[in-house]
A = this chain, B = another copy of it.
Amino acid sequence: MPDVQGRSDGRQVAIARVGVKRLRYPVRLNEAGHAHPSVAEWTLDVALSADRKGAHMSRLVAWLDDLHLAEVGLSAEVLPQLLDGLLRRLEAQAGGLEARFPFFVRKAAPVSGVQSLLEAQGVWQARRGLDGVTQVSLQVDAPVKSLCPCSKEVSDYGAHNQRSIVSMQVVLRPHSAMGLSELLRVAELAASSEIWPLLKRGDEKWVTERAYDNPKFVEDLIRDVAAALRVDSRVASFTVEVENFESIHAHSAWARVEHGG
């Protein structure tokens, strides 16, 4: 059969990234010494030089299926090696892989100690440029609680508070490693309070009072996260976004900081 994608192209436009998107596959996620089931959404792409007509996209799917990640498991350590395999399979010099997935951390409530699994969103990414340099990055979208300092100060009692999402994208230096749950912890420590799926009444009292004692604007939250990441020697560069789903408005307060890169 004719190999249409393998032909040459005369438009003189190189394509930085071409591949497949929204490809979901089950995965056993290995994180911080624990493994649990998840489903990862993959973006797999390669660079295409100006003279090549097309990428062989079906090879990207075949490559992923061959990994048997539901049985073998996926961990951050193997990302560079996976990328090597992908690029060889596609006969490509440059390209990347990205997996987005929910991950779960077992937490004990602050007073009762009852346990439950907190969900956060994680992303693992590895990308090699045309310069041959491979970059590994991770991202966590962490759910936390924020309580408004202004509301607390101007009110005789109470203070409005809400769910916030802290999104941290970190590019690691070569030979560095950072766990998803470690990054989640940075956001939790910067928030008015961390949160738990399961809280008994004594825990609810603890979280309520902890947040009231520890008010944070969206600006405070993002600064505390940025200050923590800035001094981490494993971090080459990072971007942080914080979104507060304001409980006194129908819109969000939002901030963004970039560092390095």
Question: Which residues does A use to contact B, with CB under 8 Å?
Answer: 1-5, 9, 11-29, 36-39, 43, 45, 48, 53-55, 57-58, 61-62, 65, 70, 102, 104, 114-120, 143, 145, 147-151, 153-163, 193, 195-202, 204-205, 207-209, 211-212, 217-219, 222-224, 226-227, 230, 243, 245-258
Contacts and interface: CB of A to CB of B under 8 A. Distances in A.
Nearest to A119: B24
Contacts of A26: 36-38, 102, 104, 117
A252 B57 CA distance: 10
Contacts of A48: 219
Given A151-B204, A222-B15, A163 B38 contact: no
A155 B257 contact: no
User: Secondary structure of the A side of the interface?
Assistant: mixed
The 5 closest A-B pairs by CB, nearest first: A37-B37, A158-B212, A21-B254, A23-B251, A18-B255
Contacts of A222: 13, 15, 18
A72 B1 CA distance: 48
Most chain B CB within a 10 A radius of its CB, from A118, A196, A208: A208
A62 B198 contact: yes
A254 B20 contact: yes
Contacts of A148: 204
Nearest to A12: B227
A172 B161 CA distance: 37
A16 B211 contact: no
Contact of A245 (B53, B61, B243, B245): B245
Contacts of A256: 15-18, 45
A253 B117 contact: no
A38 to B, nearest CB: 6
A36 to B, nearest CB: 5
A30 to B, nearest CB: 12
11 contacts: A17-B254, A18-B219, A18-B222, A37-B37, A65-B117, A143-B250, A154-B201, A158-B211, A160-B211, A161-B247, A163-B247
